[in-house]
Chains A and B, each alone.
Chain A
């Protein structure tokens, strides 16, 4: 019996639970747990596909579902090749421990960078195809007929000459004993009948009844709840705390230090722990970062805008010389703030630690990285730890890093054998996030007498994500991720314009505030900088912003196609409805081409109304067009929340915003109508979870300029007066 089938009953107990359920969990050596819970034979055809005798098809997932629909998309790709009955599909998370024990049979677990589908598509489709071939082979062998006379459809194998049939469940055990085919052929995309269809999501029903279980809902026998508080200033430490003051409060079991920088109260319930935590006197050693103010950071970024040294991201010709020689120069400086991911579910993890073993249950975007973090914090080898995933209550990049998990393990380690659920308050989540990096950009263009851009210099100054989270990926100090959407070429994020002379460079200026990948990542600001500045050049030279772009896009037909699509749909070139004004933007990112056209009005009092947005996406292949529409709509909520409100500021080294009352987000009444154009051009696999975010803000900012004559170069808009100039 393999690892998967052993762990399965407890997983099912979690997913089946509703209301006051208890997780079927035992603190016991691995073997004992396996024997206690081993189900009847559940033939594994291969790593991806398990078929039960009753025809239930269990498809295994290494990537994580966090709302983006990857569960349904992955199933569509396997089912396309497996020819299984869609109504019989269930899914199951494999654990990183299981994958480790099988030489990483499930590949990469990372669910970020809009890559859940596109980076898995080849091997999961082959997993489905291999399983189908083996099932058909097993049926043919049972009948004693040639494989070529048999075909599979909807989990039924038919012997064409005689009309005999066998169900997948009837031959699964025999199929599991066959040698896997090699090579595994895949269908021609023209034959697809499942990929490309708007199949309903597999996980909707439980999310409408309260039955869906998230990490924060987990319960285990004897479980206690820990609520932590870290030093308000990043880099600060705990000096002392007076546990005796709260240890007698209702429900309180432990008052602990966690690592160097946090304290936690462990109680019977969250509320008891939180009340005691709020009453706990803690003396912090705030450290030297307590001297940092937002103005300190701003000044550092300003200095980088003109610094002599910078890392080059993209360069052709001699931009500086071309600008110097140009009859006209256009110049502008933009900035982009820190932001919190703010997923709806605050950070949490449930941990059982003993001297022999550590198991965690948590929402993570990267099971393998979570296992590494767990093992390190637990002081145990990875083979004595495992990570059991639950669906995420939002991720957006925050759950690709595991600072919260490490603290949860360090807490449980102090209370051996007792399940400890660490739950952050929203305040902790807001003030101890991993933030969208802060940057500024100085844009300079040389323009000739015909309005053609002869040279463009884009100087970015600010924080590097990789230097904080993955310094070994720096290229001689240079952060390649900084230049998303601005690269000369490539399948991931190439610039959509050709300038005769171009220089994009980055003066790295890091702060003590930890940056991280934040849905859309560096595209978010890079697209504002470039797309709004091109708009500035167009207006400064009396050109139509679309026409100016088209002049630069002759070598970039896919970029241009999405831009043209939104321009046509919104009616660019014809007059908008009275009082409304339009803006446009395009960018390539995460392997996909996207464009947006926005229609806004601004009242005399300066109140912005975003009426309508048209968005086009060319992701090469569109696995589930309805899911893409949902991701595009959602991307505008995330991107426009950032544009309207998203800003974290630093005071005395700490983040000032503590909850949704001070870190507001877009709500229903501000949400525009979104029209999504899904235009897959075929031949490549692009992501869809993030790309649209990058065009949301620049399209609206350009429309605001059209409406008001005001060029907004610093977001969010809550700080700006939009009344006409």
Chain B
């Protein structure tokens, strides 16, 4: 049994303490926007925020978390998809298959929170998520657009 604070709600999940946070979120909290891509923290599809920091939830056990730590998933990033990153993503049609995009968006949102006007080098450093469809250039453009509130004008 673990207590997790997910998207502002404290939930008890009946899992083995070694269970990665990713699977507690997907199978026990019931939020499937956070994806399994590799299981070894290499691809970033499972990125969520813990107290504002981006972490790769596939490789961290639930036992590492307490209910005082605020976990935010893609579903909790904004109530209505209005985070500037989400707005920019729609304006630029960033996603292709979309499977990596929850992780991309969470990583990008964390970057913006830390550096409101990130440089290309900042983006290179922060955005190490894998996308196989090849959205990197639109991800970069989307982050820059989000600085302006998400619009492309």
Contact = CB atoms under 8 A, between A and B. Distances in A.
Contacts of A205: 81, 90
17 contacts: A20-B30, A201-B93, A204-B94, A208-B90, A209-B81, A210-B74, A270-B27, A275-B16, A344-B99, A345-B37, A345-B97, A346-B37, A634-B96, A660-B42, A661-B40, A665-B130, A665-B132
A668 B81 CA distance: 24
A68 interface: yes
A208 B37 contact: no
A635 B86 CA distance: 24
Given A671-B140, A674-B137, 17 more contacts: A18-B33, A18-B75, A19-B30, A20-B29, A204-B90, A209-B77, A210-B74, A212-B98, A271-B19, A271-B27, A344-B45, A393-B35, A394-B133, A633-B137, A659-B42, A661-B40, A666-B136
Nearest to B30: A20
B130 A660 contact: yes
Contacts of A66: 97
Contact of B137 (A626, A660, A673): A673
Contacts of A394: 97, 99, 132-133
Given A211-B33, A217-B32, A668-B124, A344 B139 contact: no
Contacts of B98: 67, 203, 206-207, 212, 391, 393
A213 interface: yes
Nearest to B103: A344
| Residue from the set B15, B74, B96 with the largest chain A CB neighbour count within 10 Å | B96
B133 A634 contact: yes
B134 A207 contact: no
B35 A344 contact: yes
A593 interface: no
B145 interface: no
B33 A67 contact: no
Given A69-B96, A344-B37, A674-B137, A210 B32 contact: yes
* CB-based closest 8 A-B pairs: A210-B33, A20-B30, A637-B134, A634-B134, A67-B97, A393-B99, A207-B98, A67-B96
A14 to B, nearest CB: 12
Contacts of B133: 67, 344, 394, 634, 637-638
Contacts of A20: 29-31
Contacts of A344: 35, 37, 43, 45, 97, 99-100, 130-133
| Residue from the set A395, A633, A638, A674 with the largest chain B CB neighbour count within 10 Å | A633
Contact of A209 (B18, B27, B75): B75
A361 interface: no
A68 B139 contact: no
Contacts of A270: 23, 26-27, 36
Contacts of B75: 18-19, 209-210
Interface in B46-61: none
Interface residues of A, number: 64
Nearest to A66: B97
A208 B38 contact: no
A168 interface: no
Contacts of B134: 633-638
Interface in A370-398: 391-396
Interface string A73-85: 0000000000000
B42 A661 contact: yes
Q: Is the interface of A mostly helix, strand, loop or mixed?
A: loop
Contacts of A217: 26, 32
Nearest to B142: A208
B84 to A, nearest CB: 11
A626 B125 CA distance: 28
A66 B26 CA distance: 22
State which size class the interface on B falls in: 35 or more
B32 A660 contact: no
B78 to A, nearest CB: 8
A625 B123 CA distance: 27
A270 B133 CA distance: 26
Interface in A195-250: 200-201, 203-214, 216-217, 219, 250
Interface of A: 18-20, 66-69, 200-201, 203-214, 216-217, 219, 250, 269-272, 275, 342-346, 391-396, 425-427, 626, 630, 633-638, 641, 659-661, 665-669, 671, 673-674
Given A67-B97, A393-B99, A208 B89 contact: yes
Contacts of B125: 669
A676 to B, nearest CB: 10
Contacts of B74: 209-210
Given A425-B39, A633-B137, A67 B73 contact: no
Contact of B138 (A219, A630, A665): A630
Contacts of B128: 667-669
A217 B29 CA distance: 13
B101 A346 contact: no
B142 to A, nearest CB: 10
B23 to A, nearest CB: 4
A270 B35 CA distance: 13
A204 B97 contact: no
| Residue from the set B15, B27, B28 with the largest chain A CB neighbour count within 10 Å | B27
A208 B95 contact: yes
Contacts of A69: 96
A108 B90 CA distance: 31
A19 B31 contact: yes
B147 interface: no
A598 B73 CA distance: 39
A219 B27 CA distance: 9
Nearest to A637: B134
Contacts of B35: 214, 216, 344-345, 393
Nearest to B80: A209
B110 interface: no
B93 A200 contact: yes
Nearest to B45: A344
Interface string B88-115: 0110011111111110010000000000
Contacts of B40: 426, 659-661
A553 to B, nearest CB: 29
| Residue from the set A203, A210, A216, A345 with the largest chain B CB neighbour count within 10 Å | A210
Contacts of A391: 97-98
B127 interface: yes
Contacts of B105: 208
Given A346-B36, A426-B39, A635-B134, A630 B19 contact: no
Contacts of B138: 630, 633
A272 B94 CA distance: 35
Contacts of B90: 200, 204-205, 208
| Residue from the set B28, B128, B132, B138 with the largest chain A CB neighbour count within 10 Å | B132
Contacts of A425: 39
